[in-house]
């Protein structure tokens, strides 16, 4: 009688252990599922916030001292951009990842009139070029805005401000290392 | 019979212990989840707030006023550091919980190196008022971004200061102008241009474009639009952000000195301004305290005078 009861008791305990294991496993799986959904949501939000930052920056980029062409509204200085290409102070390495001062991956400025084939500006061909790339090798980026691209020019011995229409494109910061 | 009772008791005891453990873990997990949810929200608000700072910058040399609505009462913590080449403004948030009236834990800090946020170390409210001024020394080196949530009572302000602030703050009642300290409300922060107050401003000329502000037991020297930053900001944030602006001025000066050589090669000769720009860059490198602003200001004036007479102006 005692052996039968003992066996019955052990069986009950085993049943309970299995049940508890199942419940715990279920809770863990449900937790993991919830966390994975949260992480995906969070990643989307981070991307969205980085895009918002880039969009906010592109609208006001001409106000930055490194870009501003003094005395003209919504105008950027192409001479300064050419110098900025080589200014290493604006680049840093944070946690092994390359960061720019503006928190974006790169800035591209393209003259849009007259429409010509892309010629990247270098110290050798400037100003006879139409594409200035800053901290990037890309030729275009999705977030853009239009500005006046201005420089000082000497025409027939007279110095004047010379402005052309240009598109500023911003490469938003990527989540993964480049 | 006794044995059956014992068996039943053990099973229950086992179930209760393990059940309690599971319940404890579940409650702990939910608490952590709520906690991290709150932290996520406040951190997101801090990032959104920092994102708003870029569009608040000035595009041309204009000053402007504005505000940002937070929609819930929040505490905004603002600090500043001099890390790296440019230093950072560091912002974090805590929100008021709708039931119970408590505050959420402070969210993650958001650093921004492109904004110079002058404010008290802690602000509280549903709306943050902003004032933006370009920092021209003599060319633009950044934007002075002033944020405040408190009410200010400004006593005996010179007409230039009064008109500018009135224009920028619009119809808002956060900043009022009076003739005597006695007209100020107790809840407001009083700023005196004469007499004794929480914040005392001493101008060195009638235009009040240089001088100092005494507050929190410190003397904050200012130049031009920095007067407003000194009034609305904590002494700690003011000193640090001015140092950051000076650091940026040094780097921007480097760009202008290279620009003068660059454009001179193409017929726009302004290379004779270069030594003065390099001196300005040197003086920014040796900047240590607010009183050094006077040296920077005089060098900036020298550059401005030279630029003024150039046939092909640098800026």
B200-217 per-position pLDDT tens digit: 999 998 889 899 999 989
Residue B51 touches partner A, C-beta closer than 8 Å: yes
Name the DSSP letter for residue B139: S
pLDDT of B1 reads 45
Interface ipTM > 0.90: no
Residue of A53, A65, A94 to mutate, testing the B interface (most B Cβ within 10 Å of its Cβ): A65
pLDDT averaged over every residue in chain A: 85
pLDDT band at B242 (very low <50, low <70, confident <90, very high): very high
Q: Is the pLDDT of residue B61 over 80?
A: no
Give the neighbor-by-neighbor strand order of the sheet with B175-178. B175-178, B152-155, B189-192, B199-203, B210-215, B218-223
Higher pLDDT: B30 or B87? It is B87
Burial of A100 (C-beta count, 10 Å sphere; 0-12/13-18/19+): middle
Q: Do A53 and B248 touch (CB under 8 A)?
A: no
**Predicted structure pTM score:** 0.85
Q: Kindly state the average pLDDT of the residues B56-66.
A: 76
Q: Are strands B189-192 and B199-203 parallel, antiparallel or unpaired?
A: parallel
pLDDT of A134 reads 94
Picking from A45, A60, A74, the nearest residue to B44 by CB comes out as A45
| C-alpha R_g of chain A | 30
Q: Is the pLDDT of residue B99 over 80?
A: no
pLDDT averaged over every residue in chain B: 89
| Domain that residue A161 falls in | 1-178
Other CB atoms within 10 Å distance of the CB of residue A38: 14
- Model confidence over A11-26: pLDDT tens digits? 777 887 788 889 889 9
Q: Kindly state the average pLDDT of the residues B284-289.
A: 94
pLDDT of B71 reads 83
Between the two ends of chain B, the Cα-to-Cα distance in Å is 102
Higher pLDDT: A6 or A83? It is A83
Cβ-based contacts of B51 with chain A (< 8 Å):
49, 52-53, 56
Q: Do A23 and B86 touch (CB under 8 A)?
A: no
pLDDT band at A178 (very low <50, low <70, confident <90, very high): very low
Cβ-based contacts of A49 with chain B (< 8 Å):
44, 47-48, 51
Q: Are B263 and B314 in contact (CB under 8 A)?
A: yes
Instruction: Quote the CA–CA distance of B126 and B109 in Å, as a whole number.
Output: 19
CA distances from A24 to A30, A32, B30, B303 (A): 10, 12, 15, 73
- Which string of b and e fits A70-85 if b means at least 16 CB within 10 Å? bebebbbbbbbbbbbb
- Model confidence over B106-153: pLDDT tens digits? 888 999 998 999 999 999 999 999 999 999 999 999 999 999 999 999
The total number of structural domains that make up chain A = 1
Of B20, B38, B18, B37, the C-alpha closest to A34 is B37
Picking from B19, B142, B312, the nearest residue to A65 by CB comes out as B142
Q: Kindly state the average pLDDT of the residues A62-78.
A: 89
- Model confidence over B171-190: pLDDT tens digits? 778 999 999 888 898 889 99
pLDDT band at B35 (very low <50, low <70, confident <90, very high): confident
Cβ-based contacts of B15 with chain A (< 8 Å):
16, 20
Give the neighbor-by-neighbor strand order of the sheet with B122-136. B110-112, B88-95, B64-81, B122-136, B140-148, B116-118
């Amino acid at each position: 009688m005692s052996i039968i009861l003992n066996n019955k008791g052990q069986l009950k305990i085993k049943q309970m252990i299995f049940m508890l294991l199942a419940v715990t496993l279920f809770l863990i799986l449900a937790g993991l599922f919830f966390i994975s959904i949260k992480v995906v949501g969070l990643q989307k939000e981070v991307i969205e916030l980085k895009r918002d930052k880039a969009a906010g920056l592109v609208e006001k980029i001409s106000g930055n001292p490194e870009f501003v062409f003094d005395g003209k509204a919504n105008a950027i200085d192409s001479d300064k951009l050419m110098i900025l290409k080589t200014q290493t102070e604006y680049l840093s390495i944070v946690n092994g990842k390359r960061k720019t001062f503006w928190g974006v991956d790169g800035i591209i400025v393209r003259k849009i009139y007259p429409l010509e084939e892309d010629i990247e500006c270098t110290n050798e061909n400037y100003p006879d070029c139409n594409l200035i790339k800053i901290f990037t090798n890309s030729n275009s980026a999705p977030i853009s805005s239009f500005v006046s691209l201005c420089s000082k020019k000497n025409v027939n011995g007279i110095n004047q401000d010379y402005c052309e229409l240009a598109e500023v494109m911003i490469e938003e910061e990527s989540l993964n290392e480049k | 019979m006794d044995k059956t009772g014992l068996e039943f008791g053990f099973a229950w005891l086992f179930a209760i212990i393990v059940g309690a453990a599971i319940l404890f873990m579940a409650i702990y997990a939910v608490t952590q989840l709520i906690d991290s949810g709150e932290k996520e929200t406040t951190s997101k608000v801090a990032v959104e707030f920092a994102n708003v700072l870029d569009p608040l910058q000035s595009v041309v040399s204009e000053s402007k006023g504005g505000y940002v609505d937070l929609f819930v009462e929040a505490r905004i913590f603002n600090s500043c550091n001099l890390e790296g080449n440019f230093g950072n403004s560091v912002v974090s948030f805590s929100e008021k919980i709708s039931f119970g009236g408590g505050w959420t834990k402070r969210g993650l800090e958001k650093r921004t190196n492109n904004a110079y946020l002058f404010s008290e170390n802690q602000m509280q409210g549903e709306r943050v008022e902003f004032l933006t001024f370009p920092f021209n020394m003599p060319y633009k080196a950044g934007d002075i971004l002033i944020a405040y949530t408190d009410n200010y009572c400004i006593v005996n302000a010179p007409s230039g200061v009064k008109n500018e602030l009135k224009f920028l703050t619009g119809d808002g009642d956060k900043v009022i102008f009076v003739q005597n300290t006695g007209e100020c409300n107790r809840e407001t922060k009083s700023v005196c241009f004469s007499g004794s107050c929480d914040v005392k401003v001493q101008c060195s000329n009638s235009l009040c474009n240089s001088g100092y502000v005494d507050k929190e037991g410190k003397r904050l020297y200012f130049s031009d639009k920095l007067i407003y930053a000194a009034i609305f900001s904590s002494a700690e944030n003011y000193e640090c952000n001015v140092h950051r602006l000076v650091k940026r001025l040094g780097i921007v000066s480097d760009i202008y000195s290279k620009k003068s050589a660059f454009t001179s090669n193409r017929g726009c000769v302004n290379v004779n301004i270069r030594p003065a720009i390099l001196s300005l860059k040197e003086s920014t490198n040796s900047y240590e305290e607010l009183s050094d602003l006077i040296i920077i200001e005089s060098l900036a004036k020298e550059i401005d005078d030279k630029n003024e007479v150039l046939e092909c102006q640098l800026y």
